[in-house]
Each structure stands twice: as C-alpha cells, then as structure tokens.
Amino acid sequence: MGLLKPLIALLAIVNPIGVLPFFIHFTQGFDRGQRQKTIRVAAISAFLVISLSALAGLQIIEFFGISLASFQVGGGMLLLISSLQMLNAQPAESRKDDLHDGGNKADAGASIAIVPLTIPLLTGPATISTMIIYADKTKHWWQLAVLVGYGVVIGVSVWLTFNLSGRIARVLGRTGINVMTRLMGLVLAALAVEVMSDGLIKLFPVLAAGASK
C-alpha cells in the first residue's frame, strides 16, 4: 500500500474548501462561540469517521446489515433536503424560535456540525468506502496507525479551513452569501441526485440495464 495514496485520495474527496459555502450558510446568525463549537465538532467528527472507517468500517456496516449503496441513498436524501432549503436561502437546521434560545442554538450548531457538514458533505460514502478499501490492503498494525494519523490531518485541515470562513463572509456580504447559497443549493441538488442514483443502481442493477437501452 502506497503510504501517500490514501492521504491524497482523502484530501481530494473530503475537500473542506468546497464545503465552505455550506458552512457559511448553515452557521448564519451564530455568534463566535457557537461557530467555534461547530468548527471543533466538525473537525473532531471528521477525524472520528475516518478513523473508525479505517479500524472497523466493514465490521460496523456488516453489524447493522447495511450496504454502502443504502448509505448512499440515505445520504443523498439528506443532501437533497438541505439543497431545497438552500435554494430558498433559508438556514437548513434552525427555526425562528431558536433565535431567542441560546441553548437550543448551541445544540443546533453541534447537530449541524455532524449532519450535514461532516456526514455526508465532508465524509460521506466515498470517504468511508475509500478508507475501508485501503484498510483492507494493510498488512501491519502500523499501517492502520498511519491511516488514523491521516484522519488527524483531515481534522486539522477542516478546522483551519472553516476558521477562514469569517473573512470570506465579510468579503461577500449578505447579498453575496444569498446568491452563493442559491447557486450551491442547485449544485448540491444535482450532487444529491448523483449520489442517490449511484446507490439505487447498486441496489437495483436492473435500473442500469434499463437506462442503457
């Protein structure tokens, strides 16, 4: 197993810079403390998903009796719901009543950090399956330790990238953020359809046969 190949693949798949517009959207109205908590939870969650996928990903999936294809369909549905809310430039995980409730809003920030930021935007089925594939190729315990170390690298990169979001938001302004939100919502809707279609084809191969005719 090439030691750098998994890291290169992870950086390309996770792509925290590409998730920045979604982070800005989901954390609109958060104060500095709530945003920092969201960043910390997202970074730690990304590390945990990658590490657990490397150490016990296949066993966990088999334990629950699910397949990566099913995970893709479920993750695609979550993405589609978020994209519809983004097309209306509405915060996806907040409610008007929460704006006057600091505790609920802090809880919402932690929830957003896990779903949909970490799963499925940062570490979705592609990341999990990639880690399972590379973990299956390892022959020594230290190679698994290296994969876990790559999870640390990804977590740090997520933390650094999201901490730059404030500067980007100030440059864009509220109008720019709303425009970007709608554009990224459209992109996210297309991505959701792609993710779900891939999963459905794996679950029902007859769909692929019908599409080829």
- Amino acid present at 209: A
The predicted model scores a pTM of 0.71
First vs last C-alpha separation in the chain: 39
- 37: pLDDT strictly greater than 80: yes
Which position has the higher pLDDT, 134 or 43? 43
Give the model confidence (pLDDT) of 99-135 as tens digits: 444 445 556 667 888 988 898 889 988 788 888 878 8
- Residue 181's pLDDT band, with cuts at 50, 70 and 90, is confident
- 151: pLDDT strictly greater than 70: yes
Per-position DSSP letters for 65-123, written without gaps between them: T--HHHHHHHHHHHHHHHHHHHHTT--SS--GGGGG-HHHHHHHHHHHIIIIIIIIIIS
Give the model confidence (pLDDT) of 79-98 as tens digits: 788 788 778 765 444 434 44
Residue 177 CB partners (closer than 8 Å, separation 6+)? 24, 25, 28, 169
Q: What is the mean pLDDT of the chain?
A: 81
- The pLDDT assigned to 95 comes to 38
| Percentage of the residues of the chain whose pLDDT score is greater than 90 | 20
Boundaries of every domain in the chain: 4-211
